[in-house]
Structure 1
Amino acid sequence: MGSLGPVATPPERIDLSGSPHEIGVQHGRQLAAKIRSQIVVYDAMFQTNTKMDWDAVRKVSQDYAKTIQRLTPEIYTEMEGIAEGANLDILDVVALNSRSEIALGMFSDGCSSTGWDRKDLGVLLAQNWDWTARVKNNCVMMSIDQPNKPKIWMVTEAGIVGKIGFNSASVATCMNAIRAKPVDSSKIPVHIALRVCLESTSKKEAIDRIKSLGGIASAQHILLADTEGPVSLELTPKGDTHILPDEDGIVCHTNHLIENRDVHEPPWLSGSPIRLDRIRKLMKQVATTEKYVDGDILRRRVFSDTYNAPQAICCQEDPSRPIASRSSTLFCIVMKLGACNDLPQAEVVWGQPGSGREGDVLHMPW
């Protein structure tokens, strides 16, 4: 395997618990170096994509800070703790958690996700997360244990409070970035919305909470599931569209809006419609040919697929793009919810599945 390059180094795992402030301080202290590295990475990315340096980004984040503090005060308190623990300004942490909104979605962030309600066999939720390789060393597997709330397990970037994962109530989230306008800083950023979902006890509660908070600040896609099945949430500041599974119980999404027409969405990733057709086709094949489906089958038959590379389901770096905004698949996650009252669980493979350089299968919970 030496000719293929080094095997992916597994991510750090951290466990956080206590009050919102205590959780934040633990996060900031344990991940201070990674959070600072994230700021350097995103500073370069913002300058490449939006011509804003980090000082300008922090100024823009002031409005989001007010919104997060007003609408989700406990999450804001946690973010203050992160800033305290990492010896940073609160606006640094807000900027990281609002980076999708501040950049108007202009990053080359591509992801392919799928949810599958297999009835008595349980619900699967899975995705490849595609992003710049420069953040890979700053991603972690994190658990968050809060009083009177479900326990969370997720894969996230250092400094970011909500991402891809599930909770002890079998509510799970995946996400796909969308580039569209407008953006509304009076609404919550998508990473805050993901955390709201992961603090909910059902997908209905998650949807109701996002609605009660006034919706989200930018057009984004959250693939949400509980033991009753998945739902595709195309969320925008102008209105939301929910896409239900097809006749096989499957719903798929990539990086463009499929049904929501409430916002202006200029052409972005030309490979996104191709990836959507491809993942739908591959999932249909799996559903009709496999009696028992696990993470290994999904990785081999779906998430390692390189059709239409570099903009494939298993994304490759595009050398024609600036280094600061090149994307590739950084990890693959397959979550399983609630067959026969089993506890939720996930398999995470660090690196590109099927490449020969991916690491061993990691498990959540640990």
Structure 2
Amino acid sequence: MEEQKQNLIILDITRDDGPRIKMITEAGMIGKIGLNELGIGVCLNAIKVPGCDPSRLPVHLALRSVLDSPSVDDAVQQLDEVGIAASAHILIADKRKAIGLESTAETIRLVKMDKENRIFHANHLLLAHDGPVEAGWLADSPSRQQRIQRLASELSSDTDGKPNATDITRIFDDHDGFPHSICRYEEGPLGMDATLFSIVMELRGRTAMISLGRPCQPDETIVLEFE
């Protein structure tokens, strides 16, 4: 629901026992999407698969644990050992590598970079998992995945494989196949929420640019950076 925009907050967390964190989340959520001062970034794709295991780490605590981590490998190892309580796709990256963690209440599977060092993920499972699987929660998720892969390949070709943050932001402002487009409105037969925000991180420079609202009509642009 677009009304959820009023609950979005930017957190700047400084403490003595871990790296400084900057993230965007909903009020009351301990962890969500952002980066830390060491250049570790995390993003989330919602996945709807039945089941919850209370002995494992809740999804938003898993996101926070990534932002508490000193490296991608450390974050992945910790989550693989502890497990994630429910379904999600958590993308973890630094300036050298990225890896995706697809989880259900029973399993974690790793999504690795393709030959061009990219990972694409929408709102459905890409890998095989044990136990219950989703029943096509969002029918347009595969088409959005294919669309962003195509746009990214065209962009990579046009920019000699070196797109910048502005180039990537334009991909989010794509309306092909509306209302099943990457830029989402609170319209259409699926009853899907509108895009609340988009984020592009440049982890070499430890910066991120957040566009609040739909990419085509942003309400505000916020830059996260470390001095």
**What is the rounded CA distance, in whole Å, between the counterparts of 2:78 and 2:168 in structure 1?**
32
**Letter aligned with residue 43 of structure 2:** C
Rg (Cα) greater in structure: 1
Once the 2 structures are TM-superposed, how far is the Cα of residue 321 of structure 1 from its aligned partner? 6.1
2:169 paired with 1:299: yes
**Is 2:102–2:110's contact at 8 Å kept on the other side of the alignment?**
yes
**Letter aligned with residue 140 of structure 2:** G
Identical positions, percent: 33
Q: Which of 170, 186, 194 does residue 328 from structure 1 map onto?
A: 194
**Letter aligned with residue 337 of structure 1:** L
Q: Residue 246 of structure 1: SS of its match in structure 2?
A: coil
Q: Can you give the 5+ residue segments of structure 1 that lack an aligned partner in the other structure?
A: 1-131
**Is 1:234–1:260's contact at 8 Å kept on the other side of the alignment?**
no
Q: Which of 333, 346, 353 does residue 208 from structure 2 map onto?
A: 346
**What is the rounded CA distance, in whole Å, between the counterparts of 1:293 and 1:163 in structure 2?**
25
**Letter aligned with residue 202 of structure 1:** S
With normalisation by structure 1, the TM-score equals: 0.59
**What is the rounded CA distance, in whole Å, between the counterparts of 1:277 and 1:321 in structure 2?**
19
Q: Which of 204, 218, 224 does residue 358 from structure 1 map onto?
A: 218
**Is 2:37–2:206's contact at 8 Å kept on the other side of the alignment?**
yes
Matched with 2:62 is: 193
Q: Can you give the 5+ residue segments of structure 2 that lack an aligned partner in the other structure?
A: none
**Is 1:182–1:264's contact at 8 Å kept on the other side of the alignment?**
no
Give the total of aligned pairs.
224
2:133 paired with 1:264: yes
**Letter aligned with residue 227 of structure 1:** K
**What is the rounded CA distance, in whole Å, between the counterparts of 1:139 and 1:255 in structure 2?**
21
Q: Which of 92, 95, 100 does residue 224 from structure 1 map onto?
A: 92
**Is 1:240–1:260's contact at 8 Å kept on the other side of the alignment?**
no
Once the 2 structures are TM-superposed, how far is the Cα of residue 235 of structure 1 from its aligned partner? 1.4
**Is 1:248–1:287's contact at 8 Å kept on the other side of the alignment?**
no
More helix by share: 1
Q: Residue 328 of structure 1: SS of its match in structure 2?
A: coil
Q: Residue 277 of structure 1: SS of its match in structure 2?
A: helix
**Letter aligned with residue 247 of structure 1:** K
Matched with 1:276 is: 145
**What is the rounded CA distance, in whole Å, between the counterparts of 1:187 and 1:164 in structure 2?**
20
Once the 2 structures are TM-superposed, how far is the Cα of residue 181 of structure 1 from its aligned partner? 2.0
Q: Residue 218 of structure 2: SS of its match in structure 1?
A: coil
Q: Residue 201 of structure 2: SS of its match in structure 1?
A: strand
**What is the rounded CA distance, in whole Å, between the counterparts of 2:128 and 2:89 in structure 1?**
10
The C-alpha deviation readout for 1:182-226, integer Å capped at 9, x for no partner, is: 22122121001000010000011111111232x011111001101
Matched with 1:164 is: 33
Once the 2 structures are TM-superposed, how far is the Cα of residue 320 of structure 1 from its aligned partner? 4.7
Higher RCO (C-alpha 8 Å, min separation 6): 1
Cα RMSD over matched residues? 1.6
**Letter aligned with residue 359 of structure 1:** D
**What is the rounded CA distance, in whole Å, between the counterparts of 1:320 and 1:280 in structure 2?**
24
**Is 1:303–1:313's contact at 8 Å kept on the other side of the alignment?**
yes
Once the 2 structures are TM-superposed, how far is the Cα of residue 311 of structure 1 from its aligned partner? 2.5
**Is 2:23–2:32's contact at 8 Å kept on the other side of the alignment?**
yes
**Letter aligned with residue 351 of structure 1:** G
Matched with 1:316 is: 185
Q: Residue 250 of structure 1: SS of its match in structure 2?
A: coil
Once the 2 structures are TM-superposed, how far is the Cα of residue 319 of structure 1 from its aligned partner? 5.1
Which stretch shifts more, 204-213 or 248-257?
204-213
Matched with 1:173 is: 42
**Is 1:244–1:251's contact at 8 Å kept on the other side of the alignment?**
yes
With normalisation by structure 2, the TM-score equals: 0.93
